[in-house]
Structure 1
Amino acid sequence: MSTEDGKRSGRPKEVVTDENIKKTHKMILNDRKLKLNKIADSLKISTERVHHIIHEYLGVRKLCAKWVPRKLTFDQNNNGLMIR
Structure 2
Amino acid sequence: MKLRLVPRGRTNLIDDVREQQPTTATTEHNISVVRHMIETDKRVTYQQIRVSLGIGMSQVHNILHEHLAVRKLRARWILHNLTEAQKLRRVDWCREMHAIFNGGDSNSVFDIVTGDESWIYCYDPETKR
Bin of the TM-score, shorter chain as denominator length: 0.7 to 0.9
Q: CA RMSD in A?
A: 2.4
Residues 12-21 or 22-31, more deviating? 12-21
Pair 13,83 (structure 1): closer, same or farther in 2 beyond 3 Å: closer
TM-score normalised over the length of structure 1: 0.72
1:83 is displaced (CA, Å) by 7.3
SS at match of 1:68: strand
SS at match of 1:50: helix
Is 1:58 aligned with 2:95? no
Question: Which residue, out of 111, 114, 119, partners 1:82?
Answer: 119
Distance of 2:57 and 2:80 partners within structure 1: 19
Pair 82,36 (structure 1): closer, same or farther in 2 beyond 3 Å: same
Partner of 2:100: none
How many residue pairs match? The answer is: 70
Is 1:71 aligned with 2:81? yes
1:81 is displaced (CA, Å) by 2.2
1:13 is displaced (CA, Å) by 4.7
Gaps of 5+ in 2: 1-21, 91-116, 122-129
SS at match of 1:82: strand
Distance of 1:64 and 1:37 partners within structure 2: 17
Distance of 2:38 and 2:57 partners within structure 1: 14
Matches within 5 A, 1:3-82: 13-72=23-82, 75=90, 81-82=118-119
Distance of 2:50 and 2:28 partners within structure 1: 15
